[in-house]
Amino acid sequence: MESISTILRDEKLFDSITREMFSAIDLDHSGNIEKTELKKAMTVIAREIGMYPLSDQQLDGALAVLDEDGNGELSHSEFKILVRALFETL
For the stretch 39-66, pLDDT in tens is 999 999 889 889 899 899 999 999 999 9
Q: Name every residue whose Cβ is closer than 8 Å to that of residue 21 and which is 6 or more positions away in sequence.
A: 79, 83
Number of domains in the chain: 1
72 Ramachandran zone, left/alpha/beta (phi>0; psi -120 to 50): left
- Local confidence band at 15 (pLDDT 50, 70, 90 cut-offs): very high
CATH number at 15 reads 1.10.238.10
- Local confidence band at 90 (pLDDT 50, 70, 90 cut-offs): confident
**76 vs 23: CA distance, rounded Å:** 9
- Whether residue 1 has pLDDT greater than 80: no
Domain range for residue 10? Answer: 4-89
